[in-house]
Amino acid sequence: MKKILKKILKKILNINETNDDIVISGDIKGLQNVQFEGKNAVPDRCNFSGNIMIGYATTLGYYNFLHGDILIGKYCQFGTGVAIYTKNHPTNYLSTYINKNLFNGELKKLRSEGKIIIGHDVWIGHNALIIGNVTIGNGAIIAAGAVVTKNVLPYSIVAGVPAKEIKKRFSDAIIKEIETLRWWDKSEVELEEIKPLFFKNYQNKNSMYE
């Protein structure tokens, strides 16, 4: 009885709950569908279904909707209202309707299903939508309101409906250095050793080590 009352109070008062290094806040649905690697944050009104893996230190935003087969890397940040869907209604058949009100929902088996893979250190802006069967490379930035329907190259910035590449964040040489460094796999001690690299501006540079 005490446990039930505790849960009710937490829901009413929107109190944060920390579990195994995971900070969960407010009304969350479908947490049983998610595997967390640790140091994650899940704020109010997030909704999950399917098979979802969220990497170390990745944090979500309010009202995030993640549905389907989704793999998210380490050190990613999601803005408010981000939605990710790997399933889509059938478009090459007579109807797109998959509700049980028509043929008891049998048309649901006609919908397309894919997998969405999001790399490490990806920033996804407010109200971005990612759908279909796509891969988003390491270090990419998805602008607010973008609708992503195709693969996004590593360290590129995409925006618009549908999302298109605006530019690369770094030179090809620096991108290669970052991919070789793989800082997201390093321990806290190792990160401290390379900390100065995080405070350098790489605009118009050809090497991280200049």
Mind telling me the catalytic residues? 89
* Residue from 94, 85, 90 nearest 112 by CA: 90
Distances (CA, A) of 200 to 164, 185, 188, 205, 207: 27, 20, 19, 10, 11
Which residues have CB under 8 Å from 90's CB, separation 6+? 96, 98, 107, 110, 111, 112
Per 3-state DSSP, what percentage of the chain is helix, strand, and coil (rounded to 5)? 20, 30, 45
Taking only Cα atoms into account, the Rg of the chain, rounded to an integer number of angstroms, comes to 20
Q: Tell me, what amino acid is at 132?
A: G
Secondary structure, 3-state, 42-57: ECCCCEEEEEEEECCC
* Residue from 132, 174, 136, 183 nearest 156 by CA: 136
C-alpha dihedral, 121 to 29 to 151 to 117, nearest 10°: 60
Q: Both ends of the chain: CA-CA distance in Å?
A: 62
